[in-house]
């Protein structure tokens, strides 16, 4: 072993000094570098773990919200459908009421028109009778060539009106 130590020029004092230096450097690195680095790594690991758990919770909340959104959307569609159907029924009822009213109005207008036509017809017949009576009296006067007194005209007019 002495030959190896002499061949490689190994000095026991230098090795002990290097081990001691290595120990001091290791302790200093451990205290000032590895401990804070471990602490920092642990904090970051906790933050990452918290972020992952928060992401899972948020994903769960998002899924629940999506389900609730779909339910609310379905309810809203159903309510809109019901409202539309009620509106349609009301519109149809109003339409039928308006049609009935229009039919009644048309029937009333036709009835009024018929009455007006009948009244006009009666007026025209009366006027025609008066005209015919007047013309008949004038013809009778011409034929008789004399004018008959006022009593005769009235009497004749009444008789002719009764015909």
Give the tens place of pLDDT for each residue, 107-153.
999 999 999 999 999 999 989 888 888 888 788 777 776 555 555 56
pLDDT tens digits, one per residue of 16-43: 999 999 999 999 999 999 899 999 999 9
Residue 139: predicted pLDDT: 81
Domain that holds residue 97: 2-162
The reply to whether the predicted model has a pTM over 0.95 is: no
pLDDT digits (tens, 9 = 90+) for 56-89: 999 999 999 999 999 999 999 999 999 999 999 9
Total structural domains within the chain: 1
- How far apart are the C-alpha atoms of 112 and 110, rounded to whole Å? 5
């Amino acid at each position: 072993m002495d030959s190896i130590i002499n061949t490689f020029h190994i000095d026991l004092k230098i090795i002990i000094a290097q081990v001691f230096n290595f120990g001091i450097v290791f302790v200093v690195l451990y205290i000032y570098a590895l401990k804070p680095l471990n602490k920092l790594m642990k904090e970051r690991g906790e933050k990452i773990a918290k972020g992952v758990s928060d992401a899972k919770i948020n994903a769960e909340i998002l899924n629940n919200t999506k389900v609730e959104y779909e339910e609310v959307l379905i309810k809203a569609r159903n309510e809109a459908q019901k409202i539309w159907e009620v509106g349609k029924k009301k519109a149809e009822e109003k339409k039928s009421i308006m049609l009935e009213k229009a039919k009644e109005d048309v029937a009333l207008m036709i009835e009024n028109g018929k009455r007006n036509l009948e009244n006009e017809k009666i007026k025209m017949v009366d006027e025609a009778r008066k005209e015919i009576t007047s013309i008949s009296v004038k013809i009778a006067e011409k034929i008789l060539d004399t004018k008959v007194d006022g009593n005769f005209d009235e009497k004749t007019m009444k008789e002719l009106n009764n015909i």
